Amino acid sequence: MLQVEHLRKTFGNKVAVDDVSFEIQPGTILGIVGQNGSGKTTIFRMILNFLTPENNGRVMWQNEPMHMKTVYNTVGYLPEERGLYEKMTIEQQIMYFARLRGMKKADVNAKIDEWMDKFNVKGNRKDKIKTLSKGNQQKVQLIATLIHEPVLVILDEPFSGLDPVNAEYLMQGILELRDKGSCIIFSSHNMSNVQSICDTVIMIDNGQQKLYGTIEDVRNSYGKTRLFVKADGWDADKLVALEGVDAVTEVTAGEYKLILADESFGKNLFNTISQGQYIQEFSQQPPTLDEIFKMEAGGKHEQ
């Protein structure tokens, strides 16, 4: 279990991180979200002891102070700034990083093809890094990060630059490690990725912790104020005129998303819209993580 307690870091007069705390249980995934410059990477660097927390901040691993000398080979870290040796082959690159993590050469050789298949790397293990596309280079670096099956995985913007198909390969790799008991933390600007695979989420804004909890609890704390409706005879003008409806947008032809002033209006709206008859859709939900992020980081209510 990773425990992060009261992290704080300043650079001159700038407070980069201010009193951030969270924990990650084995076999769970935590997503950390925030705008560029919000402090996410600084948090990762303090966890990894690249930077020293100030005041009473500390990082604990298995209830003991985390020292990289003792846990080094059990950590997998993918920095936001990618770095590969372009003149090396795929095989040489993965071997190099894996050997640094204490793996035996024979064990690495036995796993390279399996991991290349898992991430659908185009090419063969003898191809040089410089001949690969940007996306395939990124997948090679991910393999180098994960091949030793670390028990603590820290991924800084791992989905950046990946198309949806390749992002799905990465998701499956992350979920596989989770199922084996790893603690996983990653940052992302894509809220759908966070919402789909994370157990918990923490939102950082200007170095401060804005939200922290399970995905379900965070979303439900904002109330079920999103209503999706598809019913014959109803259009945007009629729906927005109903009591408790603040705004209406058409999602697809005939399907509307309503923003409610309060979730309590849902029952009366159902009765009014359905008139006791069958309707195609009526789904009341809390805001998505993307909407919550925009509300909190943007400083205004977003539809």
165-188 pLDDT, tens digit per residue, is 888 888 888 899 999 999 999 998
Nearest partner of 133 among 163, 109, 154, 171, judged by Cα: 163
Question: According to the model, what pLDDT value does residue 302 have?
Answer: 39
Q: Under a CB-based contact definition with an 8 Å cutoff, are residues 190 and 160 in contact?
A: no
Distances (CA, A) of 65 to 57, 59, 216: 11, 6, 31
The answer to whether domain 226-285 has CATH 3.90.550 is: no
CATH topology of domain 2-215: Rossmann fold (3.40.50)
Domain boundaries, the chain: 2-215, 226-285
Per-residue pLDDT for 70 more than 80?
Answer: no
Question: According to the model, what pLDDT value does residue 300 have?
Answer: 42
Q: What is the pTM of this model?
A: 0.85
Q: Taking the mean position of all CA atoms in its chain, how far away is CA 204?
A: 13
